[in-house]
Amino acid sequence: MKSQGKPGREAIISKGWFRAHQWLISRRFSQLFILMLFLAGPWFGWWIVTGNLSSSLTLGTLPLSDPFVLLQAIAAGHWPETAAITGAVIVVVFYLLVGGRVYCSWVCPVNLVTDAAFWLRQRLGIGGASSLSRKTRYWLLAAILLVSIVSGSIAWEMVNPVSMLHRGLIFGIGFAWIVVSAVFVFDLLVTRRGWCSHLCPMGAFYSLLGTRSLIRVRADNRSACNDCMDCYLVCPEQQVIRPALKGADKGIGPVIDSANCTNCGRCIDVCAPNVFHFGLRFNNQNSIGSADANHSSHSSGVEIS
């Protein structure tokens, strides 16, 4: 059954509007709430969190640092002080548990920009196949670390749209809006989900971080799939769904195991037959709808393409 019109219409009919948007709403709330925590200080004088996503201090005690920025500093030849290392370790442990790219879909301010670009792209019916490989971001990640080593500076942070936007919103945007607009235009006109799902080396870093994360989207109820394709249409990393959703015959378990999955949960929202749900990575048995018990212990492994 091919769904008509906007993806998720069936889900709205069968589950109601709120349940068909619950993870999207939660995600927007999370993104804006975290942004407001940072903005409450400069805007209202409520200094709950100071700093920005690169490094921050919450309530004057809890240090949090972006491990990717710290990795660049180390590559550039500077061993940071304890505060930054402690902050980065806390962040790393958190994302090891909840999924690295949770950062991308629940925290990163650029996601609001690229989601808006994607929404507009769909509305305007802009199509066209991308010629970009989704692996490009990993190459960019490697190149950035190499440039840091060679140039001895945190070079990427001079152009990184993610930190530029977040820092700009808090400390004054300057010309960073041009960089952010470039990301928007790129996603709108050039490549579907171009920045977040093809280029962003920060996302690539968090992907690698979340390779073995605990919390995953699971397609345990995959036998109920009615092939409406809505999950593919909304997913920013379409390639991650197929193995879990359609892999029962090949002995692949129901856990969406790719590190590129951002745990955004939009597939859960738009699925009328409730195929997906958030769960743990364990019990990835090919039991539901399994035709071949011999493959039941097979894990799909990590896929970062």
Partner 1 sequence: MTSTRPKPNSGASGSPGRRQFLKDSGRTLGIVTLFALGLGIYSRQSHSLPAEALRPPGALEEDDFLSSCLRCGLCVRDCPFDTLDLAKAGDDVSVGTPYFTARDVPCEMCDDIPCVAACPSGALDKSLVDIDEARMGLAVLIDHENCLNFQGLRCDVCYRVCPAIDEAITLEHRPNLRSGKHALFIPTVNADHCTGCGKCEHACVLKEAAIKVFPLELARGKPGEHYRYGWEEKNERGSSLVAPDREHRYNLPSGQSYDFDKEGLIFEEETNAVTPFASDPLKTLNQGLEQAQ
- DSSP assignment of 182-236: HHHHIIIIISTTHIIIII-HHHHHHHHHTTT-SEEEE-TTGGG-----HHHHH-T
Stretch that binds partner 1, among 70-78, 89-97, 246-254, 263-271 (CB under 8 A): 70-78
- The answer to whether residue 294 forms part of the interface with partner 1 (CB under 8 A) is no
Tell me the angle at which helices 82-98 and 67-75 cross, rounded to the nearest 10 degrees.
130
User: Shortest Cβ distance from residue 64 to partner 1 (Å)?
Assistant: 9
- Give the other-Cβ count within 10 Å of 41's Cβ: 15
CB contact at 8 A, 232 and 7: no
Tokens of 254: 């129901």
Of the pair 30, 239, the CB lying nearest partner 1 is at 239
- Rounded to a whole number of angstroms, the minimum distance from the CB of residue 10 to partner 1 is 22
- Beta-carbon contacts of residue 218 (< 8 Å; ≥ 6 apart): 244, 254, 255, 256, 276, 277, 278, 279
Q: Is 54 one of the binding residues for partner 1 (CB under 8 A)?
A: yes
Least distance to partner 1, CB of residue 45, Å: 12
Q: Please tell me the count of residues contacting partner 1 according to CB under 8 A.
A: 71
Which of these ranges, 29-37, 43-51, 253-261, 281-289, lies near partner 1 under the rule CB under 8 A? 43-51
In order of 102, 154, 268, the CA distances from 204 in angstroms are 12, 17, 23
- Residue 107 touches partner 1, criterion: CB under 8 A: no
Tell whether residue 305 is a contact of partner 1 (CB under 8 A).
yes
By CB under 8 A, what part of segment 123-152 binds partner 1? 129-136, 139-140, 142-144, 146-148, 150-152
Structure tokens at 31: 């993104």
Per CB under 8 A, which region of 1-9, 105-113, 166-174, 206-214 contacts partner 1?
Answer: 166-174
263 binds partner 1 (CB under 8 A): no
Residue window 230-249: x/- pattern of binding to partner 1, with contact defined by CB under 8 A: --------xx----------
User: Binding to partner 1 by residue 274, rule CB under 8 A?
Assistant: no
The amino acid sitting at 195 is: W
**Residue ranges in 191-210 that form contacts with partner 1 under rule CB under 8 A:** 191-193, 197-198
Q: DSSP characters for 9-76?
A: HHHHHHH-TTTTSHHHHHHHHHHHHHHHHHHHHHHHS--SEEEETTEEEETTTEEEE-HHHHHHHHHT
Options 26-34, 92-100, 170-178, 202-210: segment touching partner 1 (CB under 8 A): 170-178
> Binding partner 1 by CB under 8 A: which of 179, 196, 202, 244?
179
Asked if residue 181 binds partner 1 (CB under 8 A), the reply is no
Burial of residue 229 (number of CB atoms within 10 Å: 0-12, 13-18, 19+): middle
**Which of 157, 187, 257, 269 lies at the binding interface for partner 1 (CB under 8 A)?**
157
